A and B are shown apart, each in its own frame.
Chain A
Amino acid sequence: AQSVTQPDIHITVSEGASLELRCNYSYGATPYLFWYVQSPGQGLQLLLKYFSGDTLVQGIKGFEAEFKRSQSSFNLRKPSVHWSDAAEYFCAVASMMDSSYKLIFGSGTRLLVRP
């Protein structure tokens, strides 16, 4: 069965420091992968997605993610974190259906930013 693991429940970084959030997936075929961000009490916003092609994907807000098939990973990175990046981040893999797909989410990583 498809699954997503985010091994870090919480991560704290200083403002201006670099960030890497880990994501490992289990999926039999070529995966469709996503990163979403959620502010408290809000819905989820799509940061970036990988369907095929270039394994380094650029997203919004200066985020990027790299798909590594050999490691079954899709880690999210940002070179310099801003205080406004503090939120919860979810990695997801798409499980294909007839005309659409359902998303299977990891349990999330909460990012705290030190001033």
Chain B
Amino acid sequence: DGGITQSPKYLFRKEGQNVTLSCEQNLNHDAMYWYRQDPGQGLRLIYYSQIVNDFQKGDIAEGYSVSREKKESFPLTVTSAQKNPTAFYLCASSRAGGGYTFGSGTRLTVV
């Protein structure tokens, strides 16, 4: 079955560490997105990519980085510059004119 796989489901980060969240899709979608979810704030866009080797900052890109070397993959790195990284991170993909398909999320906690 086609879908989006996010890993790991839970991730713990020490202060000052960079961590990378994985997102893989086999839907042949061109566009991919990373959202951050905090209680009571809905989802906020971090980065998005409409095509391989191209990506743009969303509304809250500071402290994050991405790459899009393959159509299927859009990993997100949470850097030490992100001061409040504890959140639920959701990856999504879409084709032109269609709705988003979301992964099941990664919960990141700073310890």
Contact = CB atoms under 8 A, between A and B. Distances in A.
Interface stretch (A14-22, A62-70, A78-86, A94-102): A94-102
A42 B4 CA distance: 12
B96 A49 contact: no
Interface string B27-58: 00011010100001111110010110000001
A46 interface: yes
Interface residues on A, range: 20 to 34
Given A43-B103, A45-B102, A46-B99, A100 B94 contact: yes
A100 B105 contact: no
Taking each of A44, A51, A90, which has the highest tally of chain B beta carbons within 10 Å of its own beta carbon? A44
Contacts, number: 65
Nearest to B88: A41
A35 B33 CA distance: 18
A9 B39 CA distance: 11
A44 B41 contact: no
Given A34-B99, A102-B33, A44 B50 contact: no
Interface string B73-111: 000000000000000101010111101111111010000
Interface of B: 4, 6, 30-31, 33, 35, 40-45, 48, 50-51, 58, 88, 90, 92, 94-97, 99-105, 107
Interface of A: 9, 34, 36, 41-46, 49, 51, 90, 97-108
Given A43-B104, A99-B51, A105-B42, 20 more contacts: A34-B100, A36-B102, A41-B104, A41-B105, A42-B105, A43-B90, A43-B103, A43-B105, A44-B43, A44-B102, A46-B100, A49-B99, A97-B48, A99-B30, A99-B50, A102-B33, A103-B100, A105-B35, A107-B40, A108-B40
